[in-house]
Chains A and B, each alone.
Chain A
């Protein structure tokens, strides 16, 4: 029995003595689960409150100073059928939560101001064509000013701050013309109000801020949702280590392990930390780290890396400082180099801003000069020039890209893809080639049983059910065939051999071929398929040897075919040996492949492809892929990937299918074309509006109508970034619903 997990590292204590623990809960599939969990935990003594967050599939436990053991709650949840994983909201997530509250507040203020000023403005507009008195108009303008100035100062702060920062860095973003337009509109309106003029633009300025904030709020909420799912998945990987301390073994979160601590790695566990083996012998499967599927024997003194899988014997590992190895140091250096080259990417919206701002500002200047030359007063010329700036204030342009981005991110989320970087859509859309890593990306991260049809289903069922009682990786792979069965009672595990149980009065064994006396059969199977590993099963006089091997993701071939039809060139770059890589290439239908690639080799290949003018979408999961993921034009990782790889990827995909990679490519391409279209619409709008403004015909009414009209058109167009109904969305959703993280997936399938 494994030691009880020590949750203390995850508990937060408020100064008031209140304790709080956040859990990511697996298995929340419907609304009734909320009541199940909350009522199920309520009777626990000492627990003050248990509240489920249904949006993010999380549970918050709060208790007072009198002791409460949160592991009791985790155990209770397990009995109710939910798996709970402790976690601490990542720093990034906390920042984003605060930011989104802040944006919502500003949006509310802008909304309040826009509605009330519009109320006053409509009265002035209708009064201007009928019989409004000068005093009434002045009163309404002053009231508008009173509302607009403080609200705009508050609601517009994110834009003003960004614009100032951009100017200080001598760069140009859309926030610069926005800030300039808003400030000038307010300044001009105030001046006109003081001089009792007929026109003021308070409504335009505030409405502009409202629309833009709306876009940002939507963008932010999409990103928060994605981040929450990614953090839950991280927590569900349950990264704990068994720490061997003076008071015995206890299970602690990986982050609590310090260099110099001794950690017990049981067979079937992933090594939690980088370190040196001080006791025990075993074999290590380093496929997640290097892509190499052959196992490596280790004994005392050997270096092991975090993320590798301990296959056969228990090991005691002394933790060393992270990155204390040539491989990891090299990977980190390559990632840093690649990331630096990459940060120079200029987003589409910023590229548009670079062209747009100078053109607009020069146009306004020319208008002013033109009217002065034509004999207008300085006041009139300035008013018209500022009207040009107001009407060109890039509301539609600023919404063109983010609105599409939000819709595309939503569709990608449904398809099982989580975006990690803001420019991921643009980057992925530009790619014309996909490079796959083999182990864990093209293939499933865990081995699967080979030729299931060859085996007697009944015998396989019994063997799989018995396998549920073992932690050995081969047994775990076999247990995937158990399909919801419960483990047998009274199973005995024999270290290094296998498990034994008595089923219906007959002794059943599962384990090494020697343990089940089936060496000859095993040798025969391994001779036929050198890539496979054998696990044997004996029950009475019946014996069976199952071959387990790395299996391609079930839809790999179809996805490769879809990508090829979409015009992508494809290649496999693997750290594994030639044999398995060639086999995977043949099975998936990818013609180009390279084996035995070190991280630097992968980068070299990517550089060569770049020199050919190719833009590569790299799909990889291993630590050894991290530099390539960072160096490629765009990158995507499965959620099972190593931390460094995940951090370098633009997007993550969930589930055991490869389909999300193809979906990402097609949704991103569609989104990019809509972004371009939207920019086009914004340009057309300006081509109509600017001449009017230059001629001096833009009244506040026309400005308000034109600006909101163009924003609405751009937003509606962005909605088209959702995938076609004809492209069988129902199927892809159902497919993702079956994937690895049921809690998250059930949400997507709903």
Chain B
């Protein structure tokens, strides 16, 4: 059962890491505009087109 001595801290550490990540994302305002975040990722106008053909 000595395996518990490092498995339990690892499990808790991972959980705490997740919690910390969530608190960071909350603090940096990522939950202020949920709908916007969902559509912003589809906006590719900031990418330079590689294809020189004219775009519609």
Contacts and interface: CB of A to CB of B under 8 A. Distances in A.
Interface of A: 31-32, 34-35, 39, 52-56, 101, 104-105, 108-109, 112, 115-116, 119, 133, 136, 139, 143, 147
Contacts of B34: 55
Interface in B17-56: 18-19, 22-23, 26, 31-36, 39-40, 42-43, 45
A35 B23 contact: no
Contacts of B19: 108-109, 112
Contacts of A35: 43, 45
Nearest to A56: B33
B8 A105 contact: no
A104 B26 contact: yes
Contacts of A133: 1
Contact of B32 (A34, A53, A136): A53
B26 A54 contact: no
Given A35-B45, A112-B15, A112-B16, A55 B36 contact: yes
A34 B33 CA distance: 12
B36 A136 contact: no
Nearest to B1: A136
Contacts of A116: 11-12, 15
Given A31-B42, A34-B43, A108-B23, A54 B33 contact: yes
14 contacts: A34-B40, A35-B43, A35-B45, A39-B45, A53-B32, A54-B36, A54-B39, A55-B35, A104-B31, A109-B19, A112-B19, A116-B11, A116-B15, A143-B12
Nearest to A30: B39
Given A105-B26, A136-B1, A115 B15 contact: yes
A52 B37 CA distance: 11
Nearest to A53: B33
B31 to A, nearest CB: 7
A34 B36 contact: yes
Given A34-B40, A143-B8, A112 B18 contact: yes
A34 B39 contact: yes
A415 to B, nearest CB: 19
Nearest to A143: B8
A101 B26 contact: yes
Q: Is the interface of B mostly helix, strand, loop or mixed?
A: helix
A642 B35 CA distance: 31
B19 to A, nearest CB: 4
B11 A105 contact: no
Contacts of A136: 1, 4
Q: Is the interface of A mostly helix, strand, loop or mixed?
A: helix
Contacts of A54: 33, 35-36, 39-40
A169 B36 CA distance: 43
Rank and list the top 8 A-B pairs by shortest CB-CB distance, nearest first: A54-B36, A31-B39, A55-B35, A112-B19, A53-B33, A108-B22, A55-B33, A54-B35
B23 A105 contact: yes
Nearest to A146: B12
A538 B23 CA distance: 68
A641 to B, nearest CB: 28
A27 to B, nearest CB: 16
Nearest to A116: B15
Nearest to B36: A54
B16 to A, nearest CB: 7
A133 B32 CA distance: 48
A119 B11 contact: yes
A748 to B, nearest CB: 13
A591 B14 CA distance: 69
B36 to A, nearest CB: 3
Given A31-B42, A34-B43, A139 B36 contact: no
Given A55-B32, A112-B16, 10 more contacts: A31-B40, A31-B43, A34-B39, A34-B40, A55-B34, A104-B31, A108-B22, A116-B12, A133-B1, A139-B4
A53 B36 contact: yes
A108 B39 contact: no
B42 to A, nearest CB: 7
Most chain B beta-carbon neighbours within 10 Å: one of A31, A34, A143, A147: A31
Nearest to A120: B8
B52 to A, nearest CB: 22
A673 to B, nearest CB: 31
A34 B1 CA distance: 56
A119 B15 CA distance: 11
A108 B15 contact: no
Contacts of A39: 45
B44 to A, nearest CB: 10
A83 B46 CA distance: 25
Contacts of B18: 112
Nearest to A109: B19
A136 to B, nearest CB: 6
A115 B19 CA distance: 11
Most chain B beta-carbon neighbours within 10 Å: one of A34, A52, A108, A143: A108
A123 to B, nearest CB: 10
A104 B32 CA distance: 12
A175 B23 CA distance: 26
A205 B44 CA distance: 47
Contacts of B8: 143
B20 to A, nearest CB: 10
Nearest to B22: A108
Nearest to B8: A143
A34 B42 CA distance: 11
Nearest to A132: B1
Contacts of B33: 53-56
A39 B42 CA distance: 16
Contacts of B39: 31, 34, 54
A59 to B, nearest CB: 11
Contacts of B45: 35, 39
Contacts of A143: 8, 12
A109 B42 CA distance: 32
A109 B36 CA distance: 26
Contacts of A109: 19
A746 to B, nearest CB: 13
Contacts of A112: 15-16, 18-19
B43 to A, nearest CB: 5
Nearest to B14: A116
Most chain B beta-carbon neighbours within 10 Å: one of A52, A55, A115, A143: A55
Contacts of A55: 32-36
A143 B13 CA distance: 13
B38 to A, nearest CB: 8
Nearest to B39: A31
A227 to B, nearest CB: 14
